[in-house]
């Protein structure tokens, strides 16, 4: 059990090191998410009162589409230079590869969220210190990463790799997007915990279910 954890950490460390050197994933996702924020703010006429209604949705649209861009890169970087074959030659359980890549994609998405969210809060004139929002974001990003890592590995092996990931990913994460938006709204409005508790439970349930399912099913996606 301990050995598997070390192997997961090794895969994770490899991704972090590569990303620290090139910063390609975090920077591109960050810029894209920021652009989505801006475009959607123009798309919805920001009259008085409209801001509060659409703000949670705009944040999560930005994070979702940014996530799609980011997850594409998670396995695309392995496909280049045949690094995926190298990874598969390692005598490790396929689930270890999944969890290693999952740790990486979770970290990257979280890094993007940590930078994008304050920008979002500033643009919408919302308070900056919102620990409950941090909780919602962390839980939702776990769910995104669980599904995104799995489908990234799948999409990379198809002919239309860039379009296949969003087509697969977006319908599956509908429940967690709905729950995230519904959980974010009370936080931004300063409403009590009770309003968001059910939605947090939905997100947690989604996370657990998909972490388990993806772990079981990943070997079929990545085998050759």
Contacts with another protein, residue ranges (CB under 8 A): 147, 150, 154, 157-160, 164, 167-168, 170-172, 174-175, 178-179, 182, 198-199, 202, 205-206, 209-210, 213-214, 217, 220-221, 223
Whether residue 197 contacts residue 203, with contact meaning beta carbons closer than 8 Å, is answered with: no
CB closer to another protein out of 12 and 98: 98
Give the nearest distance from C-beta 219 to another protein in angstroms.
Answer: 10
Give the nearest distance from C-beta 114 to another protein in angstroms.
Answer: 26
Q: How far apart are the first and last CA of the chain?
A: 26
Look up residue 192 and give its DSSP letter: -
Give the nearest distance from C-beta 173 to another protein in angstroms.
Answer: 9
CB closer to another protein out of 4 and 198: 198
Could you tell me which residues come within 8 angstroms of residue 123 by beta carbon, excluding any fewer than 6 positions away? 37, 41
Give the nearest distance from C-beta 115 to another protein in angstroms.
Answer: 28
Extract the tokens encoding 148: 């995104």
Give the nearest distance from C-beta 216 to another protein in angstroms.
Answer: 9
CB closer to another protein out of 107 and 149: 149
CB closer to another protein out of 89 and 174: 174
CB closer to another protein out of 88 and 172: 172
Sign of the C-alpha dihedral computed for residues 119, 124, 129 and 131 taken in this order: negative
Could you tell me which residues come within 8 angstroms of residue 44 by beta carbon, excluding any fewer than 6 positions away? 50, 54, 58
Which of 90, 76, 98 lies closest to 22 in space, CA to CA?
A: 76
């Amino acid at each position: 059990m301990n050995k598997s954890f070390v192997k997961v950490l090794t895969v994770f460390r490899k991704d972090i090191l590569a990303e620290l050197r090139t910063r390609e994933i975090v920077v591109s996702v960050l810029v894209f998410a920021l652009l989505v924020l801006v475009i959607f703010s123009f798309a919805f006429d920001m009259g008085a009162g409209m801001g509060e209604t659409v703000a949670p949705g705009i944040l999560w649209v930005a994070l979702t589409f940014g996530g799609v861009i980011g997850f594409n890169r998670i396995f695309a970087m392995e496909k280049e230079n045949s690094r995926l074959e190298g990874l598969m030659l390692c005598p490790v359980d396929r689930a270890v590869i999944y969890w290693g890549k999952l740790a990486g994609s979770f970290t990257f998405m979280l890094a993007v969220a940590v930078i994008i969210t304050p920008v979002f809060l500033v643009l919408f004139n919302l308070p900056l210190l919102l620990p409950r929002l941090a909780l919602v974001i962390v839980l939702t990003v776990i769910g995104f990463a669980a599904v995104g890592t799995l489908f990234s590995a799948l999409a990379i092996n198809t002919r239309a790799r860039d379009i296949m990931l969003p087509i697969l990913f977006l319908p599956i994460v509908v429940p967690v997007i709905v729950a995230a938006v519904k959980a974010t709204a009370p936080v931004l409005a300063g409403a009590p915990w009770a309003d968001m508790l059910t939605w947090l439970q939905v997100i947690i349930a989604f996370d657990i279910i998909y972490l388990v399912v993806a772990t079981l099913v990943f070997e079929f996606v990545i085998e050759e």
